[in-house]
């Protein structure tokens, strides 16, 4: 079975959830969108992993529900895990008054920079730590694709004026991605898919002196 990447996005915060299907198994990246729709799309494919790119509420708001309907591990950085329980550093107060933080904590697996993770023998996931938008951001390299969370967008970058943001770290993370020599497909946390080479040519923030504070809502 050929690999398939499905994108789910709601109209409220334009946040992407990705369903990556491969060899009758699947992983979910950033469980932000309608769980029923995602599970209907999965069909008989087994969900073998959930990844959180960073600990902002708009990216994990349906984690509790999706965990209740699956039995797979949840992969994230330790600092992202801490934000699951903190409505301030997770920016949950921007999105909801009903902050739910009930999880089976035994299912969480902490990841670190440079780590390679094999998930169900189908997905080899390379982790890059990409701080800046938050202190807990990671990018996921899977096959010819990068899932960049809110670090890199199509012709944009993540804002750096939120709790635990750091502009200098964001510049370093963007430079690290832009120095890639391979034209990976880029699946960002918001907005449309792009590629590394397209961003090298067309992203106005590739000129690192222009990255100050990206103030559009992410």
* Beta pairing partners, 21: 4, 26
What pLDDT does residue 207 have?
65
The whole-number pLDDT of residue 218 equals 42
pLDDT at 99: 74
pLDDT in the model for residue 202: 93
Please give the structure tokens belonging to residue 175.
Answer: 């430079």
CA pair distance 79, 90, nearest whole angstrom: 10
β-bridge pairing 46-51 and 74-76: parallel
Sign (positive or negative) of CA dihedral 172, 116, 195, 5: negative
pLDDT at 96: 75
> Domain residue spans in the chain?
4-210
pLDDT in the model for residue 1:
60
The CATH number given to 4-210 is 3.60.15.10
The pLDDT averaged over each successive group of 10 residues in the chain (218 residues) is 88 89 96 92 94 96 94 97 94 78 92 97 97 97 98 94 93 94 98 96 75 44
Cβ-Cβ contacts under 8 Å for 214 (sequence gap 6 or more): 156, 157, 158, 159, 160, 205
Task: State residue 95's pLDDT score.
Answer: 78
DSSP 157-171: E----STT--HHHHH
Where does residue 37 rank: exposed (0-12), middle (13-18), buried (19+ CB within 10 A)?
middle
For residues 69 and 85, give the distance between their C-alpha atoms in angstroms, rounded to a whole number: 20
């Amino acid at each position: 079975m050929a690999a398939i990447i499905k994108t789910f996005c709601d109209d409220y915060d334009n946040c992407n959830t990705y369903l990556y299907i491969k060899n009758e198994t699947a992983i979910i990246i950033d469980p932000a969108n309608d769980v029923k729709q995602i599970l209907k799309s999965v069909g008989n494919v087994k969900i073998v992993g959930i990844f959180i790119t960073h600990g902002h509420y708009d990216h994990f708001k349906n984690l509790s529900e999706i965990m209740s309907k699956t039995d797979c591990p949840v992969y994230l950085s330790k600092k992202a895990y801490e934000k699951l329980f903190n409505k301030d550093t997770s920016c949950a107060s921007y999105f909801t008054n009903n902050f739910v933080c009930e999880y089976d904590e035994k299912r969480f697996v902490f990841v670190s920079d440079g780590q390679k993770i094999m998930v169900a023998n189908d997905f080899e996931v390379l982790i890059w730590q990409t701080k800046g938008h938050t202190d807990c951001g990671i990018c996921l390299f899977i096959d010819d694709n990068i899932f960049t969370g809110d670090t890199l967008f199509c012709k944009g970058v993540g804002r750096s004026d939120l709790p635990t943001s750091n502009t200098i770290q964001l510049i370093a993370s963007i430079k690290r991605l832009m120095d890639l020599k391979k034209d990976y497909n880029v699946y960002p946390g918001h907005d449309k898919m792009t590629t590394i080479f397209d961003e090298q040519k067309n992203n106005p923030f590739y000129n690192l002196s222009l990255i100050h504070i990206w103030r559009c809502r992410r």
